[in-house]
Amino acid sequence: MIQKIFIVAVHDVSGAKTDKMKTKTVKEGNSVTLDTHVIKNPNDVMKWHFNDDLIAEITRDQSKICTDDQCKQRFRDRLKLDHQTGSLSITNITTTDAGVYELQKNRRIHPHHSIISIRRFSITVTGASGVETDGVSVSLMEGDAVTLHTGVEMNQQDPMKWYFNDIRIAQIIANLNRTCTDVQCNEGTERFRDRLKLDHHTGDLTITNITTTDSGDYKLVTIRRKVIQKIFHVVVHDVPAADQDDIKRSSVKEGEAVTLDSRVIKKQNDVMRWYFNEILIAEINGDLSKICTDDQCDGRFRDRLKLDHQTGSLTIMNTRTTDSGFYQLKIIYIIRLRHSISIFRIKRFSITVTNSSLPSGVIAGICAAVVVGVGVLAAVVVCVKYCC
């Protein structure tokens, strides 16, 4: 028998370091240094990311800064690394450099053990005209919906405009809101046909049923006492092959239990809701969970539903044929960095409940898919099969 013991000591963060994200404001054309406040050890690996892209790295004695192709020519000859501390300097800064920078430090303390720490820096760039620009990045899966929050309450006279890769796609001026036509969006293509929603009170922009061609920079321009720009860098990934089947199918005999697996690990701010035939039956919101009462569920699932608080997966115990129907899992990921972003994702499941007490050949099925609300709401397809 081999035993390994890991002794972990967790210390309070000093008062000077309690901010989760360091913020800096710099004028366009100036330089800024993102200071690590550490001395690099010989075995440390330090990686800098901007909008989820690796832009600089120090591995032991070797350093590497991204090429023009890797950085999409954003930082051409303008990045410098301090080999003693790993601090990153950006020279001749531009408004497109605004956003969140992340440092990942991997310190190896044993051939098989490492300590990984993360620091984030948010940079706001003030242009020559006094316009302030800051930004944040988010990664999505194809088919998701996303809401880009402005973080403000609209005044009647506040003009607000949204741009996608510098093409105006939505605006609110003097209480009138308008989303772009297909022609206005992208020269006759139908990129955002019926997929943009604008909140009249906040100016929040929602993009539904997102696709990989929607990747890019979404810029909010608003004028209050001064002009402020916020950039949301959105990256949309293809759905993995394992998840391309819209409906997850399971078969269970009456009386057995079945688990509808979310296949995710729930984070603190996530909201997860389960629906049966469009009726909310279970919910996890933060640290709180709720399962419907007998009245709300028509007495159908009395004491037979169980939620996993780590994953949000739903287990139905002692299944009955009357449990057949539509199940929907709606996940809301809430990201709070420099700006807030809400991601909406739906998963579907199909359950076959088998009752061996009925004659063979009797098959009752409901096979349907429902598109509801924000994004593609996944309806669970349930087919109930009776056999001998």
Reported as a pLDDT band with limits 50, 70 and 90, residue 271 is very high
Q: Which residue has the higher pLDDT, 372 or 326?
A: 326
The CB-side HSE value for 74 (13 A sphere, CA atoms) comes to 18
Q: Which residue has the higher pLDDT, 262 or 66?
A: 262
Residue 157 is predicted with a pLDDT of 61
Mean pLDDT score, 290-311: 82
Distance, in Å, from the CA atom of 296 to the CA atom of 117, rounded to the nearest integer, reads: 46
Mean pLDDT score, 143-171: 82
Residues 6+ apart with CB under 8 A from 314: 259, 260, 262, 274, 282, 305, 306, 307, 308, 327, 329
Do 85 and 219 meet the contact criterion of CB atoms below 8 Å apart?
no
Would you say residue 41 has pLDDT above 50?
A: yes
Distance, in Å, from the CA atom of 331 to the CA atom of 272, rounded to the nearest integer, reads: 5
Choose the CATH number for 18-126 among 2.60.40.10, 3.40.50.720, 1.10.10.10, 1.10.357.10. 2.60.40.10
Reported as a pLDDT band with limits 50, 70 and 90, residue 378 is very low
Mean pLDDT score, 105-125: 78
Coil vs helix vs strand at 365: strand
Would you say residue 328 has pLDDT above 60?
A: yes
Q: What is the pLDDT of residues 69-95, one digit of tens each?
A: 666 667 878 899 888 888 999 999 887
Distance, in Å, from the CA atom of 350 to the CA atom of 324, rounded to the nearest integer, reads: 9
Would you say residue 17 has pLDDT above 50?
A: no
Residue 260 is predicted with a pLDDT of 92
Residues 6+ apart with CB under 8 A from 69: none
Buried b / exposed e over 109-140, threshold 16 CB at 10 Å, is eeeeeeeeeebbbbbbbbbeeebbbbbbbbeb
Residue 367 is predicted with a pLDDT of 38
Distance, in Å, from the CA atom of 119 to the CA atom of 105, rounded to the nearest integer, reads: 8
Q: Which of 139-143, 243-247, 261-265 has the lowest mean pLDDT?
A: 243-247
Distance, in Å, from the CA atom of 249 to the CA atom of 235, rounded to the nearest integer, reads: 30
Coil vs helix vs strand at 188: coil
Q: Which CATH class for the 245-354 domain?
A: mainly beta
- Residue ranges of the chain that CATH labels 2.60.40.10: 18-126, 136-237, 245-354
Q: What is the CATH number of domain 136-237?
A: 2.60.40.10
Q: What is the pLDDT of residues 202-230, one digit of tens each?
A: 889 999 999 998 988 898 988 766 777 88
Q: Does the predicted model carry a pTM greater than 0.95?
A: no
Average pLDDT, the chain: 77
Would you say residue 58 has pLDDT above 50?
A: yes
Residue 242 is predicted with a pLDDT of 66
Residue 27 is predicted with a pLDDT of 83
Q: Which of 57-71, 88-102, 135-149, 252-266 has the lowest mean pLDDT?
A: 57-71
Cα dihedral 90→91→94→96 (10° resolution): -30
Residue 385 is predicted with a pLDDT of 39
DSSP state at residue 357: T
Portion of the chain with pLDDT greater than 90, in percent: 17
Q: How many helices (H) and strands (E) does the chain have?
A: 1, 29
Q: Cα dist. 95→53, 149, 218, 231 in Å? A: 18, 20, 14, 10
